[in-house]
Amino acid sequence: MITETVTRRDLLRGNLWRVAEATQPTVSLASPTKRDLLLCVFLRGGADGLNIVVPHGDADYYTARSTIAIPQPGKSNGALDADGYFGFHPALASFERLYKAKLLAAVHACGSPDPTHSHFDAMDYMERGAPGDKRTATGWLGRHLQLTGGANDSPLRAVGMGGQVQMAMRGAKATAMSSIAAFHLREPQTRQQVIAAALRELYGSDNMLNGMATQTFSVLEQINQKMKPDYAPAHGAKYPESQFGRALQQIAQLARGDLGMEVACADIGGWDTHAYQGNQTGRQAQLLTDLGQSLEAFVTDLEDQVDRLTIVIMSEFGRRVHENASGGTDHGHGNCMFVVGGNVKGGKVYGNWPGLHPEQRYGPGDLQVTTDFRNVLSEVVNKRLGNDQNAQLFPNYSPHSLNLLNA
C-alpha cells in the first residue's frame, strides 16, 4: 500500500504530488551536467528585510522603530556587522558565517516594481517573473526548464517540496512531494513489484491520467532504487527538526542520489508579522533561526558540491519602515534577497541604498525598490544555469547584471 490512505484521484492529483505539464516546445541549450543545482527558497508572508539585513548605519531606522529595531553592533543582542553600515539579525549567526566565508551575498532595497500590497498578487507576479502581468501563464523557472530540456528527462529534474508544485515552476514537468518516504511502497520487497504492476494496469487504462501516472511510477522507481530511508547528512550537518529543515534535508538527499535534479523549491511561511514581531527575540527571530540553521546545514551537507550549488532566497515584499501600534510592521515594498553558493561573490551587500528618511521613502512609508528582483534571478539563470534567453525568461524586461556571480 502507499504510505498514506489515498483515493485513486488523490494518488495522481492529491497532496503527494502534482505535475505541471509543459506548454511550450523545448530547446536544448547547455549540457545539464554543467549546470548548477538551483534551490529557490520563498519566505511567504512578506518578510521584514529591514530587521533581517539591518541598516544600522541609517539613523532613521532607529527613529522609525522605537521598540522592534535591532540594536547596533557591539550593543547587547546587537546586529552582526557585515560591512560597517549593514548587519544581520542576531538570530542569523549562520548567515554571518556563510557571509564571512564568501558564500553568501545580500541584495538590499530589492523587489518588484509593482506597487501591490496584496500577498497573493505579489507572490504571483514574482513567481511568474512578470510583475503586473497575469496574462503570463507560466513561471520563470518553468520557462527556464522548457528552454533547457536537453538530454535530461529525469522525472525528478524539478522538485517542489510541499503539497503542490510552486507557481515559479508552472509550465514545465515538475514533481511535488511532501517527503521522499511518501513515494515508497510500504509493502514487503517481495510484493512491491506485484503491487506496482497492478497500479500501472489500473491507471494506465485511464487516458486522462495515463501521462500523470507514468510520471508517478517513474518517480517511484527512481526513489525505490536509489533512496535509502535512513539518510545520514554528510560532513556533520545537523538540520533543525522543523518542516523547513526536513524539506532541505530531503532535497540534499535527492541531490546526493544523482537523480538528475536541477531545480528545487522550498517554502517557509509565517512572515506576515503585523503584531508582536519582536526584535532580537520573538516571532521573527524564531523564523530566522530556523531559516539560518536549515540553510547552513544544507550547505554543509552538500559541501563537496558547493561549486555547483546556488541558492536564492526571496519574499514577495518587505514591510513598512515605521513599526505599528501592535509591535509589528505592515505590508511594505522594498526588501532584501540572498544568493548563496560556491560561485557567489559573497561577503558583500549589493544594491543602491535609497535611505529611510521620510522624503526618501516610497508610497505610504515603504523602503524604495532600487534593484528589480529580476536582475538577481536573471544573473543566476544566465551565469549558473547556462540560459541567456532573457526575452523569454522575463518578458518585456531587460535585466541588468549586478556582477554578484562568477560565470
Torsion angles phi and psi, residue 312, rounded to 5: -115, 130
Chain-centroid distance of CA 339 in Å reads 10
Task: Kindly report, residue by residue over 11-59, the tens digit of the pLDDT.
Answer: 333 333 333 333 334 444 444 445 799 999 999 999 999 999 999 999 9
Q: 3-state SS string over 318-385?
A: CEECCCCCCCCCCECCCEEEEEEECCECCCEEECCCCCCCHHHCECCCECCCCEEHHHHHHHHHHHHC
For the chain, residues with pLDDT lower than 50 are: 1-33, 185-187, 195, 199, 209
**Amino acid 390: pLDDT:** 97
CA 145 – CA 245 distance, rounded (Å) = 26
What does each C-alpha distance from 163 to 160, 171, 305 come to in angstroms?
8, 17, 28
pLDDT score of 2: 28
pLDDT tens for residues 338-348?
A: 999 999 999 99
pLDDT at 33: 47
What is the amino acid identity at position 389? Q
Q: What is the pLDDT of residue 178?
A: 85
CB within 8 A of 84, min separation 6: which ones? 57
Q: What is the pLDDT of residue 230?
A: 77
pLDDT score recorded for residue 183 = 57
- Do 367 and 353 meet the contact criterion of CB atoms below 8 Å apart? no
pLDDT at 127: 98
